[in-house]
Amino acid sequence: MRIIDSHTGGEPTRIIVENGPDLGQGTMAQRRARFVEQFSHIRTTLTGEPRGSLFMVGALLCEPHDPNNAAGVIFFNNAGVLGMCGHGMIGLIVTLYHLGKVGLGLHRVETPVGVVEVELLSPNRARIENVPSYRFAKDVSVDIPNFGSITGDIAWGGNWFYLVKQHHQVLSQDNTLALVNYCASIQQALNDAGITGDDGSAVDHIELFGEPSDSQLADSRNFVLCPGREYDRSPCGTGTSAKMACLYEDGLLKPGQLWRQQSIIGSIFEGFVKCKDDKLIPIITGNAYVTMDSRVLQDVSDPFVNGF
């Protein structure tokens, strides 16, 4: 397999661009199901050790179901297969430009949860029109062992999020271990309480918010725990989408109003929302850079050939 690595705001994306598994025809949702059933070893090969790491996000580049679209993609990480990935989508379009497959301008990319429009603004900067996002539930309280009761919102931004503003945690890069443990406790409490998204899916992303390091640069700083107990180094595209959906519902963000979201390492996504066909559409802009173009070698005598 040929893979190309990139990072978006510090968060890596590893994309299979040649010789990936054949998932046959059909929609990305149908091909995602085949990937889960038959090719989980590909996921662990690229995101697991010794080739990858817990925070690696992988992707499989696919031919689109609709030939008018630029590409199809299935995102995955150490814990499973994702519905959508905002930072990964920005990394994907920059990678496609690097390969000479797309030029600057507007493109449509198929994902398992819908078609995403991506505008490549420059070789390293892209704007994505995400899937419709919304808040499912406001002020949902759970009891966290050793921390007491906390309250947050449940929202969809391409993945399910539990968003917490009043958490009394220090959002800084040197406090990430404590933040991971805190968010993992929230995740467990949500699971124990049977709290899910509106389709019964697990709320598998936990997002904390606080003041930015510099109010001239950003409106908010976040910490996002992803499935698999790893945190997002970027501001998280789907998480920023979910956050803006909550702000819109609270009357704190108007259509077209800029929202600048800072990550735990200081990188920034710019976003705004628009209303289309009675749905809320988040628009996210960020930078990505290609970091490696390589081939995956698999020795059948290697006991860890498929990662661990």
Query: Catalytic site residue 85?
Result: yes
Among 62, 85, 183, 246, the active-site one is 85
Residue 119: Cβ within 10 Å count = 16
> DSSP secondary-structure letter at 251?
T
- Between CA 166 and CA 179 the distance in angstroms is 14
Three-state SS for 197-216 is CCCCCECCEEEEEECCCCCC
Phi, psi angles (nearest 5°) of residue 108: -115, 130
Query: Catalytic site residue 236?
Result: yes
Among 62, 183, 226, 236, the active-site one is 236
H/E stretch holding 158 reads: none
Cβ within 8 Å of residue 258, ≥6 positions away = 270, 271, 272
C-alpha gyration radius of the chain: 19
- Characterise 7 by phi-psi region: left (phi > 0), alpha (psi -120 to 50), beta (else): beta
H/E stretch holding 35 reads: helix 28-38
Q: At what angle do helices 40-47 and 28-38 cross, to 10 degrees?
A: 80
Catalytic residues: 85, 236
